[in-house]
């Protein structure tokens, strides 16, 4: 009984902290003078390191392209930034030495945050395709599914990905994504 009361108290405290952080972020964004989101502008999501280009505005919603990912964001959370947005793909000047090493048939990003994992997964998929793999496995873990959703969004945006799916029971279940490349 004490454990359930304690866990309930912890959940409530966490929720309160998240709400405070959300209010702080919104206040910071609102305090920024002279920034009105417009299509084509470079913007940052307040309180994060996510920088991208505004692709579409729909009322209070904005679609922000961050590299190969499109995110629906509350337009009030967007702030002006001097940072450069991440490119939609890898640089074209990658030397063959960087990709000549054997590329494994799977990559593990379990436990990583989205910000660190996505560029790593995109680079891995590009290298695996170049090395002739027909399909690969991305191990993202089960967790709350945030990393899985972002990896699926990345796969959906890559032209060279034919399909992606969660693993079968013998492949790792919903803790892995199987990516198949176009030929």
Return the pLDDT at 90. Answer: 38
The answer to whether 35 touches 24, Cβ cutoff 8 Å, is: no
Can you tell me the distance from the alpha carbon of 144 to that of 141, in angstroms, rounded to the nearest whole number? 9
Whether the model clears a pTM of 0.85, i.e. scores above it, the answer is no
Beta-bridge partner residues of 61? 58, 74
Looking at residues 81-97, what average pLDDT do you find? 54
Return the pLDDT at 26. Answer: 53
Mind listing the pLDDT tens digit for each residue in 122-167?
989 988 888 889 999 999 998 888 999 999 999 999 989 999 999 9
pLDDT at 72 over 50: yes
Task: Please tell me which residue, 17 or 117, carries the higher pLDDT value.
Answer: 117
Return the pLDDT at 176. Answer: 95
pLDDT at 108 over 60: yes
Mind listing the pLDDT tens digit for each residue in 30-54?
445 556 778 888 888 877 778 888 8
Return the pLDDT at 156. Answer: 93
Q: Is 151 exposed, middle or buried (0-12, 13-18, 19+ CB in 10 A)?
A: buried
* Whole-number percent of the chain with pLDDT over 70: 83
Task: Please tell me which residue, 72 or 97, carries the higher pLDDT value.
Answer: 72
- Tell me the pLDDT band of 86, cut-offs 50, 70 and 90: low
Q: Is 65 exposed, middle or buried (0-12, 13-18, 19+ CB in 10 A)?
A: middle
Using DSSP bridges, classify how beta strands 42-45 and 61-66 pair: parallel, antiparallel or unpaired: unpaired
Task: Please tell me which residue, 97 or 11, carries the higher pLDDT value.
Answer: 11
Return the pLDDT at 45. Answer: 81
Return the pLDDT at 136. Answer: 94
Q: Give all domains of the chain, ordered by start, each with its CATH number.
A: 2-80 (2.30.30.140), 96-181 (3.30.1370.110)
Backbone angles phi, psi at 145, to 5 degrees: 90, 5
pLDDT at 29 over 60: no
């Amino acid at each position: 009984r004490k454990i359930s009361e304690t866990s309930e108290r912890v959940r409530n405290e966490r929720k309160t902290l998240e709400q405070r952080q959300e209010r702080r972020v919104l206040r910071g964004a609102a305090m920024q003078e002279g920034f009105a989101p417009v299509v084509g502008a470079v913007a940052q999501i307040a309180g994060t390191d996510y920088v991208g280009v505004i692709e579409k505005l729909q009322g209070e919603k904005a679609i922000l392209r961050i590299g190969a990912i499109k995110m629906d964001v509350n337009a009030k959370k967007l702030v002006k930034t001097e940072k450069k947005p991440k490119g939609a793909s890898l640089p074209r000047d990658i030397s063959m030495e960087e990709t000549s090493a054997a590329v494994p048939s799977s990559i593990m990003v379990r436990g990583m945050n989205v910000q660190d994992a996505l560029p790593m997964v995109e680079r891995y998929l590009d290298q695996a395709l170049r090395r002739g793999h027909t399909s690969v496995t991305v191990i993202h873990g089960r967790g709350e599914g945030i990393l899985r959703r972002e990896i699926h969004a990345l796969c959906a945006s890559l032209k060279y990905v034919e399909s992606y799916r969660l693993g079968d029971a013998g492949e790792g279940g919903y803790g892995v994504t199987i990516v198949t490349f176009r030929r």
